[in-house]
Amino acid sequence: MTKPIIIVSITEKEHSKILEEAKMMKQANVAVVEWRVDFAEITGITKLAQIAGKLKEILQDTPLLFTYRSIKEGGQGQFSPENIYALLHYIISQKQIDMIDIEFNLPQKICNLLIDYAKQSQIITILSLHDFTKTPELKILEKQFEEMSKFNTTIIKIATMANSGEDVLNLMVATRKFTDQSSQKVITMAMGKLGAISRLAGSITNSSYTFASFHKASAPGQLSYQRTKEFLDLFSV
């Protein structure tokens, strides 16, 4: 069983602080850095691409994940699907990132176009689905995995809100069932305090990555980078 790789998110708003945090993450030997672009108080696709380029200069061989999280998926982003497509397509074209998040709830045509273009550019794709209010029942989770697996994405990500212990177990069971039958990598987590264990159980569920905070959490129940490292060392086989 493989220990999940920790992704740490940059959620700063200002240009200078975004770059400063990336430098600290590089010094801390973070495995993967996610830039949550929807938090940034920066306008213009070209400007965002320039910052992505500066981040990559700082991070060098550390993979950079580019994420624009919409309000519907629990983020800050207010772009229309068409504008999200324009942003992500341009960022892919600049080849300054290593991984990109594409929301499953975007129109299917947009998802397919972005996934195909990213793959042509040798960029890892994460097709993501978030529910910040609940965790669906087990059968629905299994159906979500099935539907998302029809896309040619590198990784499937499902994050749900845990309102009970059963929610946490259902997500972990659905994850393990899917990964036992598929070669596609997955990232899953039950959000909130109840779901914290799911962020650390990747070696059991076969969730390939987990998310942690550096200074500010980007999702409910997210643990700090240092604590996540310590717990993974303890729980992983």
pLDDT in tens, 174-209: 999 999 999 999 999 999 999 999 999 999 999 999
What tens digit of pLDDT does each residue of 139-179 get? 999 999 999 999 999 999 999 999 999 999 999 999 999 99
State residue 45's pLDDT score.
94
Tell which residue, 64, 53, 68, has the closest CA to residue 25.
64
State residue 42's pLDDT score.
84
Q: For residues 124 and 25, give the distance between their C-alpha atoms in angstroms, rounded to a whole number.
A: 21
Residues acting as catalytic residues: 130, 157
DSSP track, 51-83: HHHHHHHHHTTS-EEEE--BGGGTSSB---HHH
State residue 221's pLDDT score.
65
Its CATH architecture, for the domain 5-128+195-235, is Alpha-Beta Barrel (3.20)
**121 confidence band (pLDDT: 50, 70, 90):** very high
| H-helix or E-strand spanning residue 191 | strand 185-191
Instruction: Report which DSSP code applies to 207.
Output: B
Q: What is the mean pLDDT of residues 44-68?
A: 97
